[in-house]
Amino acid sequence: MAEHLFQFVIWCVALLVLMVLLWLVYGLLDHGLAKLSFEFLLSEPQNAGRDGGIISILVATLLILAVTLLAALPLGLASAVWLAEFTATHHFWARKVRLALDVMAGVPSIVFGLFGYAFFGIFMGMGFSVLSGGLTLACMILPVFIRTCEIGLRGVNNSWRQGAAALGMPKIKAVWYILLPAAMPAISAGLILGIGRATAETAALMFTSGYVDRMPESVMDSGRALSVHIYDLSMNVTGGDAAAQASALLLLMIIIVLNMLAYAVTDLWLGRRLSNDLA
Amino acid sequence: MISPDKGFTIGQLTEAKACCEPTPHLSVQNLSINYHQKTVLDNVNLDIYKGCITALIGPSGCGKTSFLSALNRMLDMTTGATVSGQVTFNGENIYKSDKDLLQLRRRVGMIFQKPNPFPLSIYRNLALPLKEIGIKNKQLIEHKIETVLKEVGLWEEVHHQLDMTATKLSGGQQQRLCIARALVLQPEVLLMDEPCSALDPISSAVVEDLIVSLRGRYTVVIVTHNLAQAKRVANYAAFFWMQERVGKLIEFGRSQNLFEQPQNTLTAAFIDGRKG
User: pLDDT tens track of chain A, all 279 residues?
Assistant: 789 999 999 999 999 999 998 999 999 999 888 888 888 998 889 888 888 889 999 999 999 999 999 999 999 999 999 999 998 878 899 999 999 999 999 999 999 999 999 999 999 999 999 999 999 999 999 999 999 999 999 999 899 999 999 999 999 999 999 999 889 888 988 898 899 899 989 999 999 998 888 899 888 999 999 999 999 999 988 888 889 999 999 999 999 898 888 888 888 777 766 665 444
Q: Does B6 touch chain A (CB under 8 A)?
A: no
Residue of B nearest to A176 (CA): B128
- Does a structural domain hold residue B174? no
* Encoded amino acid at B273, one letter: G
Rounded to the nearest 10 degrees, the angle between the axes of helix B171-183 and helix B138-151 is 130
Query: Distance from A85 to chain B by nearest Cα, in Å?
Result: 12
Instruction: Spell out the residues 6+ positions from residue B57 whose beta carbon is closer than 8 angstroms to its own.
Output: B64, B224, B225, B227, B230, B237, B238, B239, B240, B270
Cα–Cα distance for residue pair A219/A127, rounded to 1 Å: 11
Q: What is the DSSP letter of A216?
A: P
Query: Rounded to 5 degrees, what angle do the CA atoms B163, B167, B173 make?
Result: 90
Q: How, if at all, do strands B246-254 and A51-52 pair?
A: unpaired
**Alpha helices for B110-233 (secondary structure H):** 122-132, 138-151, 155-158, 171-183, 201-213, 227-233
Q: Is the pLDDT score of B43 beyond 80? A: yes
Q: B154 with B145: CB under 8 angstroms?
A: no
- Counting Cα atoms < 13 Å in the Cβ hemisphere of A42 gives 3
| Contact B106/A at CB under 8 A | yes
Judged by CB atoms closer than 8 Å, whether chains meet at B119 and A164 is answered as: no
Backbone Cα Rg of chain A: 22
pLDDT-derived band at B157 (thresholds 50, 70, 90) equals very high
User: How high does pLDDT run on average in chain B?
Assistant: 90
Find the closest chain A residue to B105 by CA distance: A168
8 Å CB contact of A167 and B185: yes
B14 or A62: which leads in pLDDT: A62
The pairing of strands B81-89 and B53-57 is unpaired
Whichever domain contains B17, its CATH number is 3.40.50.300
Can you give the pTM of this predicted structure? 0.83
Neighbours of A2 (CB within 10 A): 6
> A–B: how many Cβ contacts below 8 A?
69
- CA dihedral (B68, B71, B72, B77) positive or negative: positive
HSE toward the beta carbon, residue A143, CA cutoff 13 A? 17
The mean pLDDT of B130-142, rounded to a whole number, is 93
Cα dihedral value A204, A210, A214, A216, nearest 10: -70
Fill in the amino acid letter for A136.
T
CA dihedral B40, B46, B51, B52 (to 10 degrees): -70
Given CB atoms, is B12 within the 8 Å cutoff of chain A? Answer: no
Residue of A159, A162, A168 with shortest CB distance to B106: A168
Percent of chain B's residues with pLDDT above 90: 73
Distance from CA of B4 to the nearest CA of A (A): 34
Determine the Cα–Cα distance for residues B63 and B68; give it in Å rounded to an integer.
9
Q: Which residues of B touch A166 (CB under 8 A)?
A: 72, 74, 105, 109-110, 112, 182
Cβ proximity of B138 and B186 under 8 Å = no
For helices A55-85 and A130-154, what crossing angle results, to 10°?
40
Class of domain A33-278: mainly alpha
Any bridge partners for residue B108, and if so which?
A: B189
Residues 6+ apart with CB under 8 A from B56: B64, B67, B68, B221, B222, B223, B224, B237, B238, B240
Q: How far apart are CA A31 and CA B232, in angstroms?
A: 81
Contact A178 B118 (CB under 8 A): yes
Q: How far is B77 from chain A (nearest CA, A)?
A: 8
| 3-class secondary structure, A169 | coil
H/E stretch holding B68 reads helix B64-70
> Best interface-test mutation with B: which of A156, A157, A167 has the largest number of B CBs within 10 A?
A167
What's the gap in Å between the CA of A160 and the closest CA on chain B? 6
Structural domain including B259 reads: 4-114+189-272
**Apex CA A255: angle with CA A247 and CA A146, to 5°?**
135
- Please state the domain count of chain B: 1
Q: Over pLDDT 70: what percentage of chain B?
A: 92
* Interhelix angle A241-278/A184-199, nearest 10 degrees: 170
For β-strands B53-57 and B219-223, DSSP reports them as parallel
The B residues from 140 to 169 touching A (CB cutoff 8 Å) are 167
Q: Which residues of chain B are within 8 Å of residue A178 when distances are taken between CB atoms?
A: 118-120, 128
Does B119 touch chain A if contact means CB atoms closer than 8 Å?
Answer: yes
**A279 at B interface, C-beta within 8 A:** yes
CA gap A239, A244 in Å, rounded? 10
pLDDT at residue B3 is higher than 50: no
User: Which residues sit opposite A46 in a β-bridge?
Assistant: A51
Which 8-state DSSP code applies to residue B63?
A: S
Please tell me if residue B88 touches chain A, with a CB cutoff of 8 Å: no
